[in-house]
Amino acid sequence: MSTGDAAARAFQDVFGREPETTASAPGRVNLLGEHTDYHEGYVLPATIPQRTHATIAARSDRVVRAWSSGAGDRDGVEQYALGSESRGRGWLDYVQGLTAALAARQIALPGFDLHLVSTVPIGGGVSSSAALEISVLRALRSRFALPLDDVALARIGRAAENDFVGAPVGIMDQMASSLGRGGEALFLDTRTLAVERIPLPAAIELMVIDSGVAHQHAGGEYAIRRRESFEAAAQLGVPFLRDADVGMLGAVERLAPVLGRRARHVITENQRVLEAVAALRAGDADTMGRLMNESHASMRDDYETSTPEIDVLVEIARAQEGVYGARLTGGGFGGAIAAIVRAGAAANLGARVAQAYTARTGRRAAVIVPSGAHFLKSRGHDPSPGPPAS
């Protein structure tokens, strides 16, 4: 049975009627460009195979009924009225945020029934929230003929997280989920939203491993880092750290130590993305790996978003023959690491790294890429959409 057929049958089981539209969207891994998107900088994400599927059918009233496969039975159906969205309802806030964002843009919708199922790991730093947002928006666009292109979907998804959920994320996750394609890196200028698709060299393969330490973006340390970085930008006399290049690092050193570290990370990370794009175009895996290693050091020491577990996972990965480079991916404070490895070696390397990590930390790592099956087996997968996992 295809994924679409399974989703249609599940929808009918829950809502007792035929679905009208099914759409999906992928999670993403970020190769380089961490904490640069909210400073209108450069990012370099790629999609992962795991996806969120949204199946809908229109209603004749203004009620939205939503069900996640993690709820288990029909008693798990949540509902609200359009125009009466209210925060604090867990995963449903992402759906409510989307309908509120559409209404703010004068895009009218009738009510609808929604079924969600996802294989994107939650809390793993691979953007389960953006996959939810884009899959739902794609389904709504298809069913109701909404005049929205893929960039508009990304903007609305980000607005839902920023304005309703309260997660101060940039637009990278939604752009990657909405525009990304398998086998490519998406070079994105988050100021202009200009995109270039860069094929991943045939000689390398992605490896993504979840540390087992979940993270979230709505508040906490992520928001603190963001605030500190904008304070640094203001003291440097620029609105965004995108406007401060490596030629300003001397001025950065004169800032208070914490603000200087935050600014140095964003400025040098933007430069690393530009160098990584050139490396990918040239098929230069060694340079790409070095840049990923440098990026991790910058996030660990300057932006201070890593954790001891993540550092151990990166260390173990880098020690393996065939690994060019590895780094924390996503907003930090847990989540996953991304590595580029010799083509054909990722599955064996991932299993070896995960086993060594468990032996050292007692935590169960999970290989997300190249095989989602490792995640399902090692960690016990709850496919219900959850908190931000950018």
Beta strand 63-68 pairing with 78-81 = antiparallel
| Pairwise CA distance, residues 34 & 130, whole Å | 16
Can you give the pLDDT at residue 131? 96
Known catalytic residue at 173: yes
pLDDT at 166 over 50: yes
Q: Which tops the pLDDT comparison, 389 or 92? A: 92
| Pairwise CA distance, residues 189 & 42, whole Å | 5
> What global pTM score does this model have?
0.90
Among residues 37, 93, 173, 210, the one annotated as catalytic is 173
Q: How far is CA 123 from CA 170, 263, 322, 341, 346, in A?
A: 17, 26, 28, 24, 22
Which amino acid, 322?
Answer: G
Can you give the pLDDT at residue 8? 83
Beta strand 366-369 pairing with 184-189 = unpaired
pLDDT at 72 over 50: no
Q: What is the pLDDT of residues 321-372, one digit of tens each?
A: 999 999 999 889 999 999 999 999 999 999 999 999 999 999 999 999 996 4
